[in-house]
Amino acid sequence: MAITNSDRLDVYNGALRRLGSRRLASLTENREPRRVLDDIWNNGALVNYALERGEWNFALRSVQGAYNAGITPGFGFRRAFDKPDDFRRLAGLSADEYFRRPLTAEEYTDEGGYWLSDNDTIFIRYVSSHDNYGYDSSRWTESFRYYLETCLALEACERITNSDTKLQLIERDQRKYLTQAKSTDAMQEGVKFRPVGAWVGSRGGGGVAGRRSRLG
């Protein structure tokens, strides 16, 4: 699955509710608040930002690293491994597919957009923006949805309300919901180290580059 229009509309309306603005009937409604939210949503860039804020269990994906024979590390390590296209945040690297042998800081480095290592094979666990992981809105917890709403509302606040008071309230709520979302997600911690049934190559999935914003 991917982020459904229904779930996207729910996030929009949750953000508008926090801003004290009227709900949208659809994602095509001809109103300025919808255009503002579309601009901030930016084809999923806002979701990428939220995914990067934690090691969300609902978005964790495990793959075998893709060795890039065309890259020769200049110093220290023999092999370079590509980062997956849907990579958002690293949860761990391992020498085995069950993540029983995590790589230590001496066994790899993150450099130039690649992981460098002497290992012939590495396995990667990471927060993914693939349609079947972090972009599958049916996987989102309620607290993550609330956090996403506050991210959207925070970015839209000045353009829609021009209220410093409301901005401060939303900033407070954003911190609160991020803490709650991480706490809820931590209850599922056991899922994080469960082996994946089928291993796939690390190139694949989608993602949209982030943008500079009030979110940092």
Q: Is the confidence at residue 209, as pLDDT, over 90? A: no
In which domain, by residue range, is 103 found? 60-129
Average pLDDT over residues 198-215: 45
Q: What is the predicted pLDDT for the residue at 81?
A: 97
CB 46 within 8 A of CB 205: no
Tell whether the torsion through CA atoms of 73, 52, 11 and 1 is positive or negative. Answer: positive
Asked if residue 36 and residue 138 are part of one domain, the reply reads yes
Total count of domains within the chain? 2
Closest of 153, 1, 125 to residue 65, by C-alpha: 125
Closest of 200, 187, 184 to residue 125, by C-alpha: 200
Q: Read off the pLDDT of residues 167-199 as tens digits, 9 standing for 90 and up.
A: 999 999 999 999 999 999 998 765 444 444 444
Give the pLDDT band of residue 211 (cuts 50, 70, 90).
Answer: very low
Asked if residue 122 and residue 69 are part of one domain, the reply reads yes
Q: Is residue 212 part of a domain?
A: no
Residue 31: how many CA atoms within 13 Å on its side-chain side? 14
Q: Please state whether 77 falls in left (phi above 0), alpha (psi between -120 and 50) or beta.
A: beta
CB 15 within 8 A of CB 159: no
Per DSSP, the three-state class of 102 is strand
Asked if residue 72 and residue 35 are part of one domain, the reply reads no
State the pTM of this model: 0.85
Closest of 28, 30, 46, 54 to residue 183, by C-alpha: 54
